[in-house]
Structure 1
Amino acid sequence: MTIDDPELLREVTTAFYEYERALMEDDIAAMDALFHDAPTTNRYGVGETLYGIEEIREFRNGRGGSPQRKLGRVSITVYGDSFATCDAEFHRENSAAKGRQTQAWAKFPNGWKVVSAHVSLQGNTH
């Protein structure tokens, strides 16, 4: 299995940063286009647990935009020719809390799509 084929890594990296742009601009159509349109696509957020693309869409349409943030360290890895992970640290504006995001991406005939996402804020583990 090839890890980080340069062309595929470029494709996933472009998709990842397009999602970040869409998130910060509350571009719901662009975010929706980057998530796999299926009941198997899930997203665990800081305060929500969403199973299936319909729950994800309902959440996005009702929240009024994401809190603004700046990305910290980002790690993107492509495994083979159709699966990738994107892990990122972020800092929300006006908050000392560090956030973390993990996305699993799969390549479909219509491009790279998020199939699973998890967002959390770092906190005390005890």
Structure 2
Amino acid sequence: MDVQQSAAGNGRLYKLAVSSLAALIFISLAWELWLAPLRPGGSWLALKALPLCLPLTGILKGRVYTFQYSSLLVLPYFAEAVVRLFDASAVSRACSAAALLCSAAFFAACLAYVKQRRKAVGNV
């Protein structure tokens, strides 16, 4: 794979990671504040979106270390989405399915991005 193809692949993975992280933050907030909160009027569980905001700057700057640790940070969100897929409310199930998709896409994009960046540097 030449440098140009590697850069194109990194660009797609970068865009996928940024968009899936932003979508996961949005879904987490909307889910707990408006769409299907645990309590009427919103829930304090919306604060779960705050840890997702921590790596946002590093992800936007394309820092490999941030991609590495945030791939582990997203795993509890994946687990929560799997558990809440079996919720009684249809809206909550839809939100958890969207969160499941976003967290899985973010995790996969992070791993692939780090792998390609390390391969490009020769640090495999």
Question: TM-score under structure 2 normalisation?
Answer: 0.30
Question: TM-score under structure 1 normalisation?
Answer: 0.30
Q: Which structure's residues are more often strand, by fraction? A: 1
Which structure ranks higher in relative contact order (CA pairs < 8 Å, sequence separation ≥ 6)? 2
Q: Which structure's residues are more often helix, by fraction? A: 2
